[in-house]
Amino acid sequence: MPLPFPTPAQHDLVVLTNSGPLTRVADDNGNVNGLEHDLAEAFARELGVAVKHVVVPQEEMDTYLARGNYHLAAGWLSPVADRQIQATPPIFQTHDVLAQNDASLPLTELGQLSGKTVHAMAGSRQATNLHRLAKTIPELTVVEVREGDILDLLESLGNSEVELVAMDNNLEDIANQFVPNLRTSLMLSEEQPIVWLLGPHPNPELAARANAFIERIQLDGTLAKLEDRYFGHVRRLNQADVIKFLGEIETTLPDLRKFFYAAEVISGIDWRLIAAVAYHESHWDANATSPTGVRGIMMLTEETADRMKVSNRLNPRESIVAGARYINQLKEMQPDEAREPDRTWLALASYNIGPGHFNAARTIARQLGADPTAWFEMKRILPLLAKPKYYERLKSGRARGGEAVILVENIRSYYDILVRNEPALQSISSKMEKMIGLQGDGPGLKLKR
């Protein structure tokens, strides 16, 4: 029997899902986000109800799908004919690909899989497709992995611990941020739709509302904005950029980590985000100086340094703490309507071009009917600051707004890499307070409790 139609007073929207980089991810503080998670939340808001997320392991998804006690399943799923489960119109399109270490000889045809061992996550669409291929390809061995997630498996590939991995092609750009020596070769399946599954006996009204919701978000830009939130930045860094950054995490970051810890305690900003900003600004060079006079690891202008009471911009501790406090100031300058994470990305763009130029870009956005509180919109507006048609009418004059966009998108990627490789700062003991020097030898260094 189908579940009752969800209503504000009586029933939640029951969503069957799984964890993964394309669906939902919980951060170190237990906060959950992700593309499909956010889509389900948006649908529930449209219905005026709460969501009950039922998170199951990928290998158990088929069992839960067959039970039917859910309103919709949103786990980067494709329809399967023999399931007899109704689905929404396609939300995305995808296909499965073979991933290899780029030091290995690329495979160019399916027949070359003979005698090979291919790993895939247990219960995944890729595992199902591999078992199908194994019926026609001699000695193809399929290993289904139950531990960790797909990014863990791809890191094993990058470390040459496994030879071949089957994955969703939409993961390639995401994975390349963490495994720069990964490359894809063979297509393992035809293009397939990603849908929401509505169960074997869906509520007709709910099915109609879900179908209409999918069609609407594809037309009004909602889906494009969500895609950009999670994946719009992942194509910026090239392989050399990622390899260099991973190396600097091993060699340079250890000496600076305590300063970033201190900056988080004082500002409340994740130390890994502060470190990502510092890396983009100076490549963690405390003595960096630009031709325009900005200096130090956070590349502060003299005016900003004076405002933040920095006595020596080349002192990494002073620079890092001041940079974090300045980012907070810029976040506070954003309109109340600007929500996270957009609020942070907008502040970082302002960090790059200055509040005056950034406010000019917001003016242009309003004139063009764009939302100045949405990073998705401002990415398009900021480059206009370099065009005479726009900057000649502004008191602030010309600015390299396109560079601000690149800065923010690169920082987002560096931050993703740091989150994957470095633990969050959960708490600071008194011993660590002493270690990182939070007991009173610098301007404004007061522990925030």
Could you tell me the CA-to-CA distances from 37 to 52, 121, 172, 333 in Å, in that order?
11, 20, 20, 29
Are 146 and 174 in contact by the 8 Å Cβ rule? The answer is: no
| 146, two tokens | 């139950």
| 129, two tokens | 């497709």
Are 38 and 226 in contact by the 8 Å Cβ rule? The answer is: yes
Q: Tell me how far apart the alpha carbons of residues 376 and 258 are, in angstroms, rounded to a whole number.
A: 34
If DSSP codes are grouped into helix, strand and coil, which group holds residue 79?
coil
Which H/E stretch holds residue 13?
strand 13-17
Q: Tell me how far apart the alpha carbons of residues 163 and 225 are, in angstroms, rounded to a whole number.
A: 36
Please name which of 424, 411, 63, 95 lies closest in space to residue 257, comparing C-alpha atoms: 424
Q: Tell me how far apart the alpha carbons of residues 311 and 421 are, in angstroms, rounded to a whole number.
A: 33
Q: Tell me how far apart the alpha carbons of residues 350 and 264 are, in angstroms, rounded to a whole number.
A: 20
Residues 6+ apart with CB under 8 A from 101: 157, 158, 160, 163, 181, 182, 183
Taking each helix axis from N to C end, the angle separating 342-353 and 316-332, rounded to the nearest 10 degrees, works out to 120
Please name which of 129, 217, 119, 111 lies closest in space to residue 159, comparing C-alpha atoms: 119
Which H/E stretch holds residue 303?
helix 302-307
Burial class (CB in 10 A: 0-12, 13-18, 19+), 154: buried
Q: How many residues does the chain have?
A: 449
Q: Tell me how far apart the alpha carbons of residues 216 and 88 are, in angstroms, rounded to a whole number.
A: 13
Q: Tell me how far apart the alpha carbons of residues 198 and 15 are, in angstroms, rounded to a whole number.
A: 10
Unique residue bearing structure tokens 């291929």: 133
| 374, two tokens | 């949405």
Per the annotation, the verdict on 318 as an active-site residue is no
Catalytic residue (choose from 281, 318, 377, 409): 281
Unique residue bearing structure tokens 């995808």: 94
| Active-site residue set | 281
